[in-house]
Structure 1
């Protein structure tokens, strides 16, 4: 079953979308009442980004809750946790896009690019690019405020005994993503290393902090905690979520180089232009000839990379065995994850959906 079809089960997507839309409508109404129509473009930009998500994190949260709860009658808390994750994801993307200098996201201009264009079209004084950057930072902050508001309402719909552990997981996730983002930025400015194994270790550390836990492990843990799972069960959920999350990000890294722009919504080779120090890149350098390694180091990180140069880099990734090696690593991590899921000994539709969502996360094309 496709990812969209899986997320549509139990109307998870539509119910999470409804909660996000309710928040945006209310926040926009209050902001316009206080500040006038000048703030409308901020909410329009947030709505464009929030309207394009896959809702996979929200689905992981909901189905972990379903798999572990004894009372499926009241889903509002779990769904609101999913909506809070979507708002946090929006904040992370607004900030990530400007740090990466990305031009497009989900087939649309990124926020900083859009607002720079608005500035130029209006003939306003000052630096258009700086206006765009400022607007994108503030959009991210606004989405974070929405995330906190949605989290608070989620906790109001959950039993009081699960509120503290659920919030602790959410708070840990937010801090960890920020630190992981810094490690990612740091990795891109460090001098090239001659130690491919160390480069891969660093790349995987960034994956775990910035993406793996945030994309899969923490959403699963939030669902489990909100269902009242004990520490032993939560540990088992994390053993399922972390390797699955790492495999999820490794798939993303492959798509960042080999993905179809019509499907991913991002230009081909964007990760190469941004200079992302991925496991795929580390493996390529580890297996490259001196001439190939020099070419890779000379091209990766150049914003002016041509399609021909991107194809040259792709050929090196294939020829060195880097692509096959990362695909094999994805399979190994998936095996580890699903063995941990089996060990949880869950039954029913929730367990079936967690497995299906796990496969969808690592077999996706966008």
Structure 2
């Protein structure tokens, strides 16, 4: 393995390349293992591989890697190579989450491409097969999402970690998977119940996004390096706050982001009925400040699959007018500030501390 450089932007580009190389190799190996009778399934697996490799920020393994380095882990050598393989498995956890999330949200685009269930729906239609195209597409995507989760575990287990490293990594790895599914359930439950509370919105952000995007990958990285309880607690605080801020930025992009940049249609979160903190604040402020018609319009927009661009524009204006957007920006700033304080207090090593701080800023000020 080529050593990861230690200067400027090339650092995270190099981590990105290492992760993609390891992931592509692993997926190719697993595809080749499929028996001849399963060659049609192997073709389906190609869709999963394409999905996992066609873009993505690789935030999770990057946070885990710099957690490892900040807690004293080597830049190169057998242990570093083992850690890079282990944390690359986080991308398959991410693939599982996104494939299933797109089914539950009935999303048509992800990263500017048709979602996995849409691809298989199109495949069914093109072949004039029997049954319902949408049902086949959903079934195929569920199976591939499940496969991504199974292969994530296999990939993590196959990393040549030492016994103590593997034991230290077990708790964050197991917690991360359970928290991810708990957050997803809370998300669909909030939509089903019409829960408009800030508490529920923040709970979803904490479990569905923060835990498996930043907090647990960081926990995993420092645990692999042998960090003590105080360091683990500090980086988990940092990771939670940055992870929630990351989701709040995502909430803004879901309403105000440009489709050609985000890779998703504008206003999709509204069409999907997402009870985000932005929505919760908008409803609270609109009801409080006498914008009854605006609050009614926002409630009517949530979950409407046929939401027009004109209505989306009106909702955007309302959220700005009542101060929900400004408040969300303030909360992102406060969360980033408390996260940086926790990072400063963690007693971690350079260049890891600087890289984690840079990643935090990039995650909370992004446009996609």
**TM-score, normalised with respect to structure 1:** 0.94
Q: Which consecutive unaligned segments of at least 5 residues does structure 1 have?
A: 194-198
Q: Deviations over 1:93-148 (max 9, x none)?
A: 11000000000001110011110110010011111100000001001011011101
Q: Deviations over 1:261-284 (max 9, x none)?
A: 111100001100000000000111
Partners in 2 of 1:191 and 1:148 — Cα distance? 35
Question: Pick from 146, 155, 163: which aligns with 2:166?
Answer: 163
Measure how far apart 1:180 and its partner are.
0.9
Partners in 1 of 2:102 and 2:194 — Cα distance? 23
Q: Deviations over 1:54-87 (max 9, x none)?
A: 1111110001101112533331222123211000
Seen in structure 2, the aligned counterparts of structure 1 residues 203 and 100 have a Cα distance that, compared at 3 Å, is same
> Are 2:86 and 1:81 equivalent residues in the alignment?
yes
Partners in 2 of 1:246 and 1:278 — Cα distance? 12
**TM-score, normalised with respect to structure 2:** 0.93
Name the count of aligned residue pairs: 354
Q: Which residue is 2:103 aligned to?
A: 98
Contact 1:102-1:110 at 8 Å conserved across structures = yes
Question: Pick from 20, 26, 31: which aligns with 2:29?
Answer: 26
Q: Which residue is 2:258 aligned to?
A: 260
Contact 1:104-1:266 at 8 Å conserved across structures = yes
Q: Which residue is 2:4 aligned to?
A: none
Tell me how large the CA RMSD over aligned residues is: 1.4
Question: Pick from 311, 314, 320: which aligns with 1:312?
Answer: 314
Seen in structure 2, the aligned counterparts of structure 1 residues 107 and 327 have a Cα distance that, compared at 3 Å, is same
After the TM superposition, which residues 1-366 of structure 1 pair with which residues of structure 2 at under 5 Å, given as runs?
6=9, 8-9=11-12, 11-31=14-34, 33-51=35-53, 52-74=55-77, 75-154=80-159, 157-191=160-194, 199-288=197-286, 289-366=291-368
Q: Which consecutive unaligned segments of at least 5 residues does structure 2 have?
A: 1-7
**Structure 1 residue matching 2:135: 3-state secondary structure:** helix
Contact 2:72-2:349 at 8 Å conserved across structures = no
Partners in 2 of 1:263 and 1:78 — Cα distance? 32
Seen in structure 2, the aligned counterparts of structure 1 residues 355 and 192 have a Cα distance that, compared at 3 Å, is closer
Seen in structure 2, the aligned counterparts of structure 1 residues 76 and 10 have a Cα distance that, compared at 3 Å, is farther
